Chains A and B, each alone.
Chain A
Amino acid sequence: MANNILELRGVSFTYPGAETPVLQDVSLSLTEGDFVAVIGGNGSGKSTLCKTFNGLIPHYYTGEFAGEVILHGKSTEGKTVSQLSRHIGYVYQDFENQLVRPTVLDDACFTPLNYGLADYRQRGERALELTGLTGKRHDFIWQLSGGQKHLLALAGALAMDPDILVIDEPISQLDPQHARHIYDILRSLNERLGKTIVVIEHHTEFIAEYCRSVVLMDGGRLRWQRPVHEALSAVAELLPLGIYPPDVTRAAWMLRPGAPAGTLYPLSCEEAEGSFARRGATETAQRIERAGVHLTELRTERREEHETGLREDHQGGHVAEHGVKGAGEQAVGHGSKGAGEQAAERRVLRNPNHSTAAAAAGEQEPVVHMDKAGLAYRTIHKTLQPVLSEVSLTLNAGERVALVGNNGAGKSSLMKLIAGIAQPTAGTVTVKGITVNGQPPERLAGTAAYVFQNPEDMFIDDSVRGEVSYYLKARHREDRAETVERMLAAFRLEELAERDARLLSGGQQRRVSLAIGAAMAPAVMLLDEPTANLDISTKQEMIGVLHTLRSHVETVVIATHDMALVAEWATRVIVMHEGRIIADGSKEEVFADALLLRRAGLTETQLMKLSRSLGLPQICGSLEEFTSQVSWQEDVKLEHKEEGVALSGSR
């Protein structure tokens, strides 16, 4: 029924000078209108594979090439990249570098103009319309946000009306809302216009939701190509490759040890409905789920449990009493929308400092203290654009603070104030007794260390060792050689010590940036999106590295969109929205408030959703925690299995 649009037959490729081939005997066919995810660990040949589609390999990268690529039933041998690119659009991972014109419309028109198509302008306009950038068409590239630049790169590829679109890690630099936006656009291109879409993707939750089939690469070989449900259910096979199927899928897999290979597991919370049950409280949970409307009961029950839960296992210096109050407020807040909003307002008004241990202990000096700090930028029109207003905050030693909120909520700005990179335009900021206002960033260097979102921004030397020792060298520290060695060891960088940090992989670069920060032995370390751009296994590793960090600094603050990271790591969560702090409390408190999360533009993880719908005593942060509290329901599962088979069969 569906035609093969692109076929690879026995393709192998070796980069010049390399010992081992990056692609080995890969045979693959893409059906027209498919939505394919290419997955695989780092260095498995995902990008290389996609570059054979449009002839970049072997024409642009010359090397040893064998095999055949067939596009629309014709061999592509002898065709140039330019000829093939008429049919295949490519969006790079570092998409910013593929925008070569100054204005949005110009860039969108660039490709069709290059091919001498008389209607290039209409094509550009249409591509902008498809990506929702029409309103920005006369803007300059440098005025766009990261997400908009990505959309523009996509528009540039769409302007040629290609049959196949290849997108290398479409959402790695975006917050969850923008990520969803990109995928919704891709889906509509796929469904409405019948484009064949190939994404290289780590985020299995997005694969589960949007893709139809999955290609697994491993060590340059194509291991298999399967429909999405079958593919992601192969948990046991994927985990060793560093690919983490969605939480729901893994939880189901963990709860059913010894299930035969090929068993299908649910991929999303919707599919999983009814498959999990609270351990020990199966009856109640079942009843509630089936009815689905007995929310009030669930809520009452949850409030009670939340209270006891908090009393029993509140961690890291939060006053239980306050937590209970918070939970109570939320429980009431869930009753009706109006009340919910009121509860949210109340959170804003609440003084966040009350809930900290130091307030209870009284004596200890806070690491960071902000008093009604504000920050405003001057725009091109000479008006002041406020980014932070009236932020009051106290951070204490030993806290692991997560700053959450969507793009533009002011997370980075807040951290820049603490690090002395930006000067507050109102109020005061004190770090370890030093008033930041008016101090040059050098003065705060050893007190507050800021680790940039993009590690490359921090690289100023030509070796990893040089990067780590720069700060100590500038201060002529006696023990610097020793400290550097210790840091290199702690962040597992010994082997890479003499390499140029710019040429390392994303995860390695991130470790270098953290080692740079830790070598300064700051009182407070500020990390901007430490898990952005990392594949999931590196991300898991990063959580371990963050724990290493704890022994070197007093307080760690992380700005992130990554709710899984927050759930697993933080002891205190500060929610920001439009330049203000709208909530501050333990993660249990914050996660329990669905309304608050939505208001701040945060998406819940699957575990959070499941914990909530099952009415678990608290929102689970890790799979282990979750699976220890729920059990698998065999009978419901069977129905689901059949449904799953039917589903994948129809695809």
Chain B
Amino acid sequence: MEAVKRALDKISVERIKLELLGNAYNSSSTVLGRLDPRTLLIWYLFFAIVPWFMHNRTILLGMFILMAVCTVLARASTFIIFILCLGLITQVGWMFLLSLFFGGGGESVLPMLTLTLKLSVISLASITVFSSLDPERLSDGLSALGVPDAFAFSLSYGYRILPTLLEEFHQILLSFRLRGLRPQKNGMLYWRTAAYYLRIIVLVFYPLMLNTAKRSRTTVEALETRGYNYAVNNPQVKKLKLSYLSLKPRDWMFAGVTALYLIALFTLGTAFPELIY
């Protein structure tokens, strides 16, 4: 329990804020981060949809290898990868336990492995793309691909307001604690303390929402004075804003390499569909 306590001490709101935002906005330094957002989004669209319809395990494995390489190139944070692995392991673990319960055996592992492969390909593709696109470029990329401006703007504004919300959450939580009463005894397995914290964490959302509502009054008014409505769906402004986007040789190269790899993979996959199991 002491270890848990120490681990919890290290997770401060400030820390989460810095990690999260550092991760979200610090992407243009990688190879993939320098690609045009449109290239990445279209690339992602392919790898997020196609694996669902694939049953060929050789092809899935090939895709997995490609995704793994890309994830490394994108320098995704180890924290996120850890969460992904945790998710996959618990998911498959539970299903395996369930299958044992219903009289299954070791043979039920293989089909689950196929599902896991699919999920991993899709998840790794997401991680690759979203660690390579900061919210701004993501929003611009979407806008360039024809997504309504209001949506694209909300996306980037959402990120902008995130630290403010986190800070406020922290602040209100503190107010609850400063006036609240923690259980005198921790209870078995700290359940009293845990219940106390869970309760106030839920309660925090109520003032948080009211405060946000109050704050947005100024924001909406300010957007008006800052010409936002003038710009929305004004093609001239959109063109100006997105003029920095351009497909460079490296985009074509990236698309080309992926295509070549896929052609080779599909050829190999059709020839040896059961290369691994």
Contact = CB atoms under 8 A, between A and B. Distances in A.
A206 interface: no
A442 interface: yes
A445 B178 CA distance: 5
Contacts of A474: 179-181
Of the candidates A102, A142, A419, the one having the most CB atoms from chain B within 10 angstroms of its own CB is A102
A289 B223 CA distance: 55
B181 to A, nearest CB: 4
A82 B180 contact: no
A142 B172 contact: no
Contacts of B236: 116
Contacts of A54: 225
Given A92-B218, A457-B171, A100 B177 contact: no
A474 B180 CA distance: 6
Given A100-B222, A111-B226, A421-B174, A442 B182 contact: yes
A268 to B, nearest CB: 34
A380 B18 contact: yes
Given A94-B215, A440-B177, A475-B181, A459 B160 contact: no
Contact of A102 (B159, B180, B182): B159
* Interface size class, chain B: 35 or more
B91 interface: no
Interface string B1-28: 0000000000000110110011001000
A114 B25 contact: no
A125 to B, nearest CB: 15
A142 B21 contact: yes
Nearest to B208: A460
Nearest to A160: B227
Nearest to B159: A102
Given A421-B178, A442-B182, A98 B230 contact: no
A457 B178 contact: no
Contacts of B229: 81-82
A475 B184 CA distance: 11
A92 B227 contact: no
Nearest to A112: B227
B221 A102 contact: no
A106 B181 contact: no
Nearest to A99: B160
A142 B22 CA distance: 12
Contacts of A74: none
Nearest to B18: A380
Contact of A142 (B163, B180, B227): B163
Nearest to A472: B179
A85 B18 CA distance: 35
Interface of A: 54, 56, 60, 80-82, 85-86, 88-90, 92, 94, 96-102, 106, 110-111, 113-116, 118, 120, 140-142, 156, 160, 377-378, 380, 419, 421, 440-443, 445, 449-450, 452, 456-460, 470-471, 474-475, 500, 502, 516, 520
Interface of B: 14-15, 17-18, 21-22, 25, 135-136, 156-157, 159-160, 163-164, 168, 171-172, 174-182, 203-204, 207, 210-211, 214-216, 218-219, 221-231, 234, 236-237, 240-241
